[in-house]
């Protein structure tokens, strides 16, 4: 029986990742929520964009048993030249096929979970949080899209003394965003581009609300790290880097800005959910290119005791 303190609020969750060391301080449990108002062309987690569950297909795993074809109520599955294939126009995401697929060719992404269920998973790693200074991180997708669930979960975690963090685009209701900010200990906030029209071309939404929200929380946020995925030809100009640095310079809760080099980890994910990836020809920027942008930003940030750094794990050598 659920504890009486819970309202049994639920959210669509597509993954709970344990022992993460790249999503906030210390060792963390990352809760990935489905649903995002942005549709970034380079998205590394396209399976998180829609709130509703989706079918993921991995033809290379298929053992050709044919069980999925037998049970599909819409005749949406068949064998083709490249193995198992799903007609997305016929598929209703009922998930029946995944129940008989023992080779993990067909997987269902997204599951409704209550605050109590997610809290139970987070609590399992409590010892790691205490020893490493870690905690939990809400990610996505965009957590703000399921804000009621997030607020309830954060409050329950706070009662247990867990360090709370979020990875967000800051695209959401300002009042709600401020409420969540006050409850959290740490925030990663993305800034994709400083120009509103260019931001819209790459993400599907303007950046005006995002920048407004970031400004609004400066007096209540404990610690913010700004992140920017460096997409060649989109936001890697020195003009945009200088403009972003000037914006960050005046934000008192922000002391670090991270540049994350573009990578192609999302390409196969787009294919697995039946969507076309539109940046096939794009290459990861070189180490020299990214470090040049870091130097440009730090000319503006260092004098005010802030810093721009780069994630070196995805860089390619010159």
pLDDT in tens, 75-130: 999 998 878 999 999 999 999 999 999 999 999 999 999 999 999 999 999 999 99
pLDDT in tens, 204-240: 999 999 999 999 999 999 999 999 999 999 999 999 9
Per-residue confidence (pLDDT) for residue 134, from 0 to 100 = 97
Domain spans of the chain? 10-50+111-314, 54-109
- For the chain, give the mean pLDDT: 94
* Choices 3.30.420.40, 1.10.1530.10, 1.20.1250.20, 3.30.70.20: CATH for 54-109: 3.30.70.20
Written as six digits, the tokens of 193 are 């581009």
Written as six digits, the tokens of 26 are 């210390």
pLDDT band at 1 (very low <50, low <70, confident <90, very high): very low
Burial 238-253 (b: 16+ CB within 10 A, else e): eebbbbbbebbeebeb
Per-residue confidence (pLDDT) for residue 81, from 0 to 100 = 80
pLDDT band at 318 (very low <50, low <70, confident <90, very high): low
The average pLDDT across 134-142 equals: 97
Q: Which fold has domain 10-50+111-314?
A: TIM Barrel (3.20.20)
Lowest mean pLDDT among 113-127, 286-300, 304-318: 304-318
Residue located via tokens 């922000």: 254
Cβ burial, residue 189 (10 Å; 0-12/13-18/19+)? buried
The average pLDDT across 25-53 equals: 96
The average pLDDT across 166-177 equals: 98
Per-residue confidence (pLDDT) for residue 24, from 0 to 100 = 95
Per-residue confidence (pLDDT) for residue 313, from 0 to 100 = 75
Per-residue confidence (pLDDT) for residue 10, from 0 to 100 = 93
Per-residue confidence (pLDDT) for residue 8, from 0 to 100 = 55
Written as six digits, the tokens of 68 are 């999925």
Using alpha carbons, select from 233, 305, 273, 306 the residue that is nearest to residue 55: 273
pLDDT in tens, 47-85: 999 999 999 999 999 999 999 999 999 999 999 887 899
Considering the chain, what percentage of its residues have pLDDT values greater than 90? Answer: 92
Using alpha carbons, select from 252, 229, 223 the residue that is nearest to residue 165: 223
The average pLDDT across 273-280 equals: 92
Task: Name the H helices within the chain.
Answer: 67-71, 96-100, 115-123, 126-132, 147-159, 174-183, 196-203, 208-216, 238-249, 267-272, 287-301
Q: Taking the model in full, what pTM does it have?
A: 0.91
Per-residue confidence (pLDDT) for residue 6, from 0 to 100 = 42
Using alpha carbons, select from 317, 168, 299 the residue that is nearest to residue 246: 299
């Amino acid at each position: 029986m659920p504890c009486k303190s819970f309202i049994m609020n639920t959210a669509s969750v597509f993954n709970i990742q344990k022992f993460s060391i790249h999503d906030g301080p210390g060792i963390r449990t990352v809760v990935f929520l489905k649903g995002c108002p942005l549709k970034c062309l380079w998205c590394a987690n396209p399976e998180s964009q829609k709130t509703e569950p989706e079918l993921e297909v991995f033809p290379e795993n298929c053992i050709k048993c044919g069980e999925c074809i037998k049970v599909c109520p819409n005749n949406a599955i068949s064998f083709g030249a490249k193995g198992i294939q799903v007609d997305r126009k016929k598929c209703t995401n009922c998930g029946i096929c995944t129940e008989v697929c023992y080779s993990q060719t067909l997987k269902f992404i997204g599951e409704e979970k209550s605050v109590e269920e997610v809290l139970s998973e987070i609590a399992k790693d409590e010892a790691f949080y205490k020893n490493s200074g870690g905690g939990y991180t809400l990610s996505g997708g965009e957590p703000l899209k399921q804000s009621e669930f997030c607020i309830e979960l954060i409050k329950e975690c706070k009662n247990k003394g867990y360090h709370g963090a979020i990875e967000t685009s800051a695209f959401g209701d300002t009042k709600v965003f401020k409420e969540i900010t006050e409850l959290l200990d740490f925030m990663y906030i993305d800034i994709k581009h400083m120009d509103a029209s260019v931001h819209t071309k790459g993400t599907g939404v303007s950046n005006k609300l995002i920048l407004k929200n970031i400004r609004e929380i400066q007096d209540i946020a404990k610690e913010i790290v700004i992140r920017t995925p460096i997409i060649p030809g989109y936001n890697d100009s020195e003009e945009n880097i200088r403009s972003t640095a000037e914006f960050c310079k005046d934000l008192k809760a922000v002391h670090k800005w991270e540049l994350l080099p573009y990578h192609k980890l999302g390409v196969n994910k787009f294919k697995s959910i039946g969507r076309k990836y539109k940046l096939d020809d794009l290459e990861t920027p070189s180490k020299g290119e990214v470090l040049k942008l870091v130097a440009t930003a730090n000319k503006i940030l260092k004098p005010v005791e802030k810093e721009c750094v780069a994630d070196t794990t995805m860089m390619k050598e010159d």
